[in-house]
């Protein structure tokens, strides 16, 4: 089995050859893959019995005061060559289990990448939110200034002044919250990508993958498929242990005997074959348990696929909602543009104040920023879908 490289299997050509992970995380993922590969190669030959090498020496004295010395050396083998399919299924289980483990590492890497690019998109979005909140605060300051002036001349009551004050304080609080959120997101990004890489990360163009691609290439479902094959092979291995097996054995050695009465030395050998089958009262239950484990994994895969169908539909609908919000922002931009142009003419004619003009200008900018913010929300949803799959 070839090594599953994250660049090709997860990120694909979309991200190029450089992944935005810290050196430590990249090295850890590499070591995990290498260990799994070693375990697979070792497991494929685990059915082969080892050669046993032995050497011995013994000295004896009998009741007649006779002395003897025996020296032996040799190699021996006791090897199953037929297990009613058990050897084939054992190798198949190792391969499938190894593939599932490699996919587990792919899922871990994909989760890192999803977190990194989601955080990057959130940072870019929240920078716009911070700018938007600043503009909102400026408008709240203008509203409060105007209402305070009206209150002083008796054309506004205290409730209006209190509302404007609370709105301004709420806008200031929102600005503090967003600033704190941005700081935390930057810290989180550095945890995954490293301090040096955090500022170099660029958002790639993330496509909206189709539902068919999402379900067909979903890493978790691919892992379930490998686990299905592993569990299917496992219960067949269990079944084979209760069926006939053929074992060959043999020894090749050298023996040297030195005694008071006789002496001899020379090569020795033996070989044979054993056909055996256990008769166990628990056979049926043990095999049935293994098969039920396979059916359980298969059912879990079907259940998870149904959940992911709903997950995909939910995210696509969320994207549609964000697109609708973009449409609303475009309508608001048009409305505020018209009001701004009208107010600008009124301001030049001396009928409107500079505060009115500034407030409307800020409102136009707020809606333009809103449009960009919703664009980043769409990117975040696409990232989640994309990095759930193997490209």
Which pLDDT tens digits describe the chain residue by residue (391 residues)? 343 333 333 444 455 556 788 889 999 999 999 999 999 999 999 999 999 999 999 988 877 777 888 999 999 999 999 989 999 999 999 999 999 999 999 999 999 999 999 999 999 999 999 999 999 999 999 999 999 988 888 888 999 999 999 999 999 999 999 999 999 999 999 988 876 677 788 898 999 999 999 999 999 999 999 999 999 999 999 999 999 999 999 999 999 888 777 888 889 999 999 999 999 898 899 899 999 999 999 999 999 999 999 999 999 999 999 999 999 999 999 999 999 999 999 989 888 889 999 999 999 999 999 999 999 999 999 999 999 998 7
Sequence-ordered alpha helix ranges (H) in 153-244: 158-193, 195-198, 211-216, 219-240
Residue extents of the structural domains in the chain: 6-47+83-242+278-386
d(CA 71, CA 256): 5
User: In this structure, is the dihedral angle defined by the CA atoms of residues 197, 198, 203 and 209, taken in order, positive or negative?
Assistant: positive
d(CA 263, CA 282): 53
Asked if the 6-47+83-242+278-386 domain carries CATH number 1.20.1600.10, the reply is yes
Question: How many Å separate Cα 323 from the centre of its chain?
Answer: 28
**How distant, in Å, are the alpha carbons of 82, 105, 247, 279, 284 from that of 276?**
10, 41, 8, 10, 18
d(CA 100, CA 39): 13
Locate the DSSP E strands across the chain: 52-61, 67-82, 245-259, 263-276
Question: How many Å separate Cα 339 from the centre of its chain?
Answer: 50
In the structure encoding, which two tokens stand for residue 15, read together? 């991200």
Q: Provide the 3-class DSSP secondary structure of residue 85.
A: coil
């Amino acid at each position: 089995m070839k090594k599953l490289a994250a660049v090709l299997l997860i990120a694909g050509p979309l991200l190029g050859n450089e992944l935005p992970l810290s050196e430590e995380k990249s090295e850890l993922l590499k070591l995990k893959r290498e260990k799994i590969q070693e375990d697979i190669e070792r497991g494929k030959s685990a059915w082969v019995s080892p050669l046993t090498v032995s050497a011995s020496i013994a000295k004896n004295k009998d009741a007649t005061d006779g002395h003897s010395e025996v020296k032996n050396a040799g190699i021996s083998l006791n090897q199953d060559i037929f297990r009613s399919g058990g050897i084939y299924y054992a190798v198949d289980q190792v391969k499938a289990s190894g593939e599932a483990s490699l996919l587990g590492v792919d899922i871990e890497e994909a989760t890192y990448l999803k977190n990194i690019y989601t955080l990057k998109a959130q940072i870019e979005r929240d920078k716009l939110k911070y700018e938007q909140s600043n503009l909102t605060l400026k408008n709240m300051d203008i509203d409060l200034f105007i209402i305070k002036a009206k209150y002083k001349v008796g054309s506004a009551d205290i409730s209006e002044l209190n509302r404007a004050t609370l709105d301004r304080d709420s806008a200031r609080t929102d600005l503090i919250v967003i600033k704190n959120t941005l700081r935390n997101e930057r810290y989180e990004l550095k945890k995954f990508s490293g301090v040096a890489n955090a500022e170099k990360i660029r958002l790639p163009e993330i496509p909206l993958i189709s539902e068919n691609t999402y379900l067909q290439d979903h890493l978790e479902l691919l892992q379930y498929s490998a686990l299905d094959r592993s569990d299917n092979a496992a219960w067949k291995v269990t079944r084979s242990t209760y069926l006939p097996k053929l074992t060959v054995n043999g020894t090749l050695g050298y023996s040297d005997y030195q005694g008071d009465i006789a002496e001899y030395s020379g090569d020795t050998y033996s070989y044979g074959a054993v056909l055996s089958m256990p008769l166990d009262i628990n056979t049926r239950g043990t095999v049935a348990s293994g098969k039920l484990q396979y059916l359980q994994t298969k059912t879990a895969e079907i259940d998870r696929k149904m959940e992911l169908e709903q997950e995909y539909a939910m995210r696509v609908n969320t994207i549609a909602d964000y697109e609708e919000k973009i449409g609303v922002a475009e309508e608001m931009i048009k409305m505020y543009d018209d009001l701004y142009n009208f107010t600008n003419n009124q301001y030049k004619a001396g009928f409107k104040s500079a505060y009115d003009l500034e407030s409307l200008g800020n409102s136009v900018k707020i809606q333009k920023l809103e449009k960009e913010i919703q664009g980043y929300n769409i990117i975040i949803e696409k990232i989640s879908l994309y990095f759930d799959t193997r490209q």
